[in-house]
Amino acid sequence: MKIAVVGLGYIGLPTAVMFASHGHEVIGVDVLPEVVETLARGDIHIEEPGVAPVLKSVVESGSFRPQLLPEKADVFILSVPTPSNDDHSPNLGFVTKAAESIVPYLEPGNLVILESTSPPGTTIGLIPTLERSGLKVGVDIYLAHSPERVLPGRILIELVENDRVIGGYTLESAQKAADLYRSFVQGGILQTDATTAEMAKLMENTFRDVNIALANEFSRIAERVGIDVNEAIRLANHHPRVNILNPGPGVGGHCIAVDPWFIVDSAPEESTLIRTARVVNDAQPGYVADLVTRIVSGIENPTVAVLGLAYKPDVDDIRESPSVEVVKHLSRLGYRLRLHDSHTRSEVAGMPVYGELSEAVSGADAMIILTDHREYHRLEPDDENLSGIVHRILIDTRNCVNPNLWRDAGYAVHRLGVGAPFMVTEGPDFD
């Protein structure tokens, strides 16, 4: 098959190289010239384990060709962002543009697949645009929605292993798309209609958001009633039907913090719980900033070293990152900040991000772990990179460190979701 993948981001690029390495001829389309140039050299513009070597080999073999415009193909896969507007309504501008961009190239027998996470009704809403080609959807061309469900950091594995939902505009459309994904999908292929597929995807991410909101609420309650939420969660999760998630500084990424709003937008009156969960999670960065304020209030002009900016561990993605939101809050409060993240080098809130931990903690009065990168889990209090810290204050918002170890080394350790007495005296003995 000749496949055109429109949108070469975190999902489009891995999907394109998977098809290209499984016997298909793939055209990769992106509107950003720098992305196309980078990929055409065989280099990569995102951090995602395993993608770089596959990309290199498919560029070298010629089975993957990045370019700015689509061309005729058998299959068109639209894999572009679906962000929210400031009022949380869905912004379908990229999807509309992507659909318009393929109209001049459509031919009878083509299959169009929307992979972007979309509000219910988006896929069938593309029909008038696609029919500007003079072809009838469901008769001359096939249309399906197959939401991506892969976890950043494990994309190549999950593309293969996860079950895949495929919603067809017609039965034939679903069947054609199912046959195509079988090229590399080893998980189950679950066929349904397009709108149900859209909702299934939104419900998955909403389930996670609501459950993280519950964990965050438990963590606030724990501080009030004077217990360690992590210990309570560990115990509760021994129940065979309970699996409480982890509290933290908020929910980030381009998916979980955004997708529930698509449901709220579609059915506002019915979505009170979903909306509340979003509000709870969005308030979490401000809550963490207040916690910092309480802790450093005795220090004049405090400098805070911020450890971890990415929205989740071991990735470089800072989109919608709660860590960045905490940084903005702290910056507004007037603290001097020194930022560390060895995965991402972007500037954040006009401040440089240091790749070296020693640079970030030099002269700091406190350090706060916001993203639990693996390197912070491994960090030990006597690490020589920490020698430049002025006041030994550690704030852990991700249940990342062993508090007793750090306290023994003379650190004042404050942990999110841990209320007095644990906050001011010894931590619990976990083992």
Residue nearest to ligand SAJ (CB): 255
* Least gap, CB of 61 to ligand SAJ (angstroms): 28
H or E segment and range at residue 327: helix 322-332
Which residue out of 255, 312, 328, 400 is catalytically annotated?
Answer: 255
CA distance 38 to 46: 11
Active-site choice (2, 56, 201, 312) = 201
CB closer to ligand SAJ, 110 vs 284: 284
**Neighbour-count burial for 371-386, b at 16+ CB within 10 Å, e otherwise:** bbbebbeebebeeeeb
Interstrand relation of 366-369 and 336-340 (parallel, antiparallel or unpaired): unpaired
Q: Is 255 a catalytic residue?
A: yes
Q: Which residue lies nearer to ligand SAJ by CB, 115 or 365?
A: 115
Q: Which residues of 388-413 are buried (b: 16+ CB within 10 A; e: fewer)?
A: bbeebbbbbbbbbbebeebbeeebeb
In Å, how far are 3, 7, 16, 30, 60 from 37, measured between CA atoms?
A: 20, 14, 16, 10, 14
176 tagged catalytic: no
- Which C-beta is closer to ligand SAJ: that of 282 or that of 359? 282
Beta strands in 298-409 (DSSP E): 303-307, 336-340, 353-354, 366-369, 393-396
d(CA 182, CA 178): 6
DSSP state for residue 243 in the 8-state scheme: -
| Backbone φ, ψ for residue 210 (5° rounding) | -65, -40
CB of 308 to ligand SAJ, least distance (A): 10
Closest CB to ligand SAJ among residues 118, 205: 205
Q: Look at the block and give the residue holding tokens 């055409």.
A: 40
> Which residues lie below 8 Å from residue 417, measured CB to CB, with a gap of 6+?
218, 219, 220, 222, 223, 228, 229, 230, 247, 399
Give me the least distance between CB of 321 and ligand SAJ, in Å please.
7
Of 70 and 260, nearer to ligand SAJ (C-beta) is 260
Residues in the site for ligand SAJ, rule: CB under 6 A? 117, 148-152, 204-205, 208, 212, 245-246, 248, 251-253, 255-256, 311-312, 322
* Residue among 253 and 427 whose Cβ is closer to ligand SAJ: 253
| Minimum CB distance to ligand SAJ, residue 370 (Å) | 9
* Cβ neighbours of residue 134 closer than 8 Å, sequence gap 6 or more: none
Neighbours of 145 (CB within 10 A): 33
Interatomic CA distance for residues 391 and 301, integer angstroms: 13
**Which of 252, 419 has the CB closer to ligand SAJ?**
252
Give Dmax over CA atoms of the chain in angstroms. 74
How far is it, in rounded angstroms, from Cα 422 to Cα 173? 58
Residues tagged active-site: 201, 255
